[in-house]
Amino acid sequence: MEIVTESAPLAPPPGGSAVTIGAYDGVHLGHRALLAELRTRAGAEGLATVVVTFDRHPAAVVRPESAPLLLCDLDQRLELLASAGVDRTVVVRFDEERANETAEEFVTRELVDGLDARLVVVGEDFHFGHGRKGNVALLTEMGSVAGFAVDGVALASADDVAGDASPPVSSTRVRTLVAAGDVEGAAVLLGRPHQVRAPVVTGDRRGGAELGFPTANLAVPPEICLPAPGIYAGWYERPDGSRYRTAISVGRRPTFYGADGALLVEAYLLDFSGDLYGEAARLSFVHRLRDELAFPSVDALVAQMGRDVDRTRTLLAAP
């Protein structure tokens, strides 16, 4: 997949393009269904497929006080879009100037002049431009003059992707599941476990020295959506691609710090010994094991951690 930023003028693909636009946070199964429709239509017409997305969620600029936490960072989003078979992704810098751009200006600059769009495929409820005044109707009107067709597709529902009668799959719905700790439900809609990426940093070194379970502490960026506090089973992936079954704690360590501890993400890698400090970790949440608890003693905590590790080993055992 070709990745294009706005540091240089856009060069339209030869023969024109089939374009979709959006934040694409999480690149969940609803997104993938729309991208599949884009690829099918583009293939029939001999067009390159292009996703126009943004370097940050537009809400972070337009309404920062209520901007959603993100399901993935930009690098992961680009990887997921590439895995969906997109030919090109254009990353638009979204700032105050862009937030004040009219929908008509966006269409002319990005779709017509920048990409020679012949087809635009978006969700039927898609809105864009200043004041969210752009929609499928406006795209259709402008396309009739500029020479591109518009397909406003119904959003895929969980009934389509998961076999139950539910509302459309959306990033908001996935965030709600993750924030509630329902990582299994989120994985159904994502088509993969929810993953966070972060560097490993130095903690208070209590895990190995005092508890016998040395953990990697991940400095997850504050804009990334974390599961609810609790204990999880998942996978830790190292930069070299090796993966380890992992017992994960998201919480404040109430046994030591009460309710006032800093929120930490700690990962205990099963069957691993070595130095992880400073490396870029990828941590995937597969199963929720239990709530975070305050234990009456360190011994009681250590005993429970042992049971958590055993259960992690069992749940993530190879079939």
Q: Which amino acid belongs to residue 213?
A: F
For residue range 40-91, what is the model confidence (pLDDT) as tens digits? 999 999 999 999 999 999 999 999 999 999 999 999 999 999 999 999 999 9
Mean pLDDT value across residues 90-95: 94
Encoded tokens for 307: 């049971």
Return residue ranges of the chain for CATH 2.40.30.30.
Answer: 193-315
Mean pLDDT value across residues 114-129: 94
Return residue ranges of the chain for CATH 3.40.50.620.
Answer: 14-161
Distance from C-alpha of 205 to C-alpha of 106, rounded to nearest angstrom: 51
In this structure, CATH architecture of domain 14-161:
3-Layer(aba) Sandwich (3.40)
Q: What is the pLDDT of residue 210?
A: 62
Mean pLDDT value across residues 7-14: 78
> Closest by alpha carbon to 178, among 224, 220, 225, 219?
225
- Per the model's pLDDT, the better-predicted residue between 143 and 157 turns out to be 143
Does 260 score more than 80 pLDDT? Answer: no
Mean pLDDT value across residues 137-155: 94
Mean pLDDT value across residues 251-277: 88
Token pair 């020295």 is found at 209
C-beta separation of 42 from 115 below 8 A: no
Does 286 score more than 70 pLDDT? Answer: yes
CA 100, 105, 107, 109 dihedral sign is negative
Which H/E stretch holds residue 48? strand 48-54
Fold of 193-315: Elongation Factor Tu (Ef-tu); domain 3 (2.40.30)
Q: Could you tell me the pLDDT band of residue 154, with boundaries at 50, 70 and 90?
A: confident
Q: What is the pLDDT of residue 319?
A: 54
Distance from C-alpha of 155 to C-alpha of 172, rounded to nearest angstrom: 13
Give this prediction's pTM. Answer: 0.91
